A and B are shown apart, each in its own frame.
Chain A
C-alpha cells in the first residue's frame, strides 16, 4: 500500500496560487493519484486525478514527475471558499472490480486569508 505524506497545514492569501505536494515513495504500477477536498461536516469530494505527467481541469492542475513518487496539486488564484482540507489518495482504483484498500493520509489544511 502506498503511504502518503503531506504538509499538515498551509496558509495563503486570496488570489495567490497554492501548491500542495504529496509524497508517495512506494507507489505501485497500477496506482492512480487522486486529490480530494473536504469542507467541515461534509464528505470529501473529488478534485482531480492523474497517472503521470500533468492533468488540468477547470479547478486545479496536477503535476506528477516521471518517477511518480510525488505529486503536486496546484490551485490557481485561491479564494476564501477554497479553505478546506486536501487529501492525496494513492491506489489502484481501476482494478477490474477488485480494488483494494484505499487509505487516506492526514491531509493538508489550507487556510486562505483575505
Chain B
C-alpha cells in the first residue's frame, strides 16, 4: 500500500519549458488535490478534483492545468514554466483527511 506517489521528486527546468507532475493514489479516494509550498510559507491550493471527471480551480491556478486521468491519477502540467513557479508541489488524496505525497521539488531557472 504505497498511499500517494508523486513523480518526479526533483526537477530543474528552464524558463518556458513545459512539464507534467504525476500523482497516483491507491486508496480508492474520490478527491485529489494539488498544493504548492514556497520556502517558509504555507500550502496554497492550485487545483482539486472532487471526483473522477471533475476538476476545479483553487487559490492559485494561473499557469497550471490539471487532468484527472482516472480515479487513481491526477496530473499537474506547467505549460510554460516561470521562475515564480519554483516551489515544492504536494499532491494529496482525501477521505475524511488529506493524505499527502512526499512532494516534488521544482526549480525554474
Contact = CB atoms under 8 A, between A and B. Distances in A.
Interface stretch (A12-20, A66-74, A92-100): A92-100
Interface stretch (A22-30, A36-44, A57-65): A36-44
Interface of A: 32, 34, 36, 41-46, 49, 85, 87, 89, 93-95, 97-107
A58 to B, nearest CB: 16
27 contacts: A34-B97, A34-B98, A36-B98, A43-B90, A43-B92, A43-B102, A44-B90, A45-B100, A89-B98, A93-B96, A94-B96, A95-B50, A97-B30, A97-B31, A99-B50, A100-B48, A100-B56, A101-B48, A101-B56, A101-B58, A103-B45, A104-B43, A104-B44, A104-B45, A106-B41, A106-B42, A107-B42
Contacts of B100: 43-45
Contact of A98 (B51, B92, B102): B51
B96 A102 contact: no
Most buried by B among A43, A44, A97, A98: A43
A36 B97 CA distance: 9
Interface size range of chain B in the complex: 20 to 34
Given A93-B97, A97-B31, 11 more contacts: A44-B90, A87-B42, A97-B51, A98-B51, A100-B48, A100-B56, A101-B45, A102-B48, A102-B94, A104-B35, A104-B44
Contacts of B90: 43-44
- Grouping DSSP codes into helix (H, G, I), strand (E, B) and loop, the A interface class, with mixed when no group exceeds half, is loop
A102 B50 contact: no
A56 to B, nearest CB: 17
Nearest 8 interchain pairs by C-beta:
A43-B100, A97-B30, A104-B43, A46-B97, A106-B42, A98-B50, A99-B31, A43-B90
Contacts of A45: 100
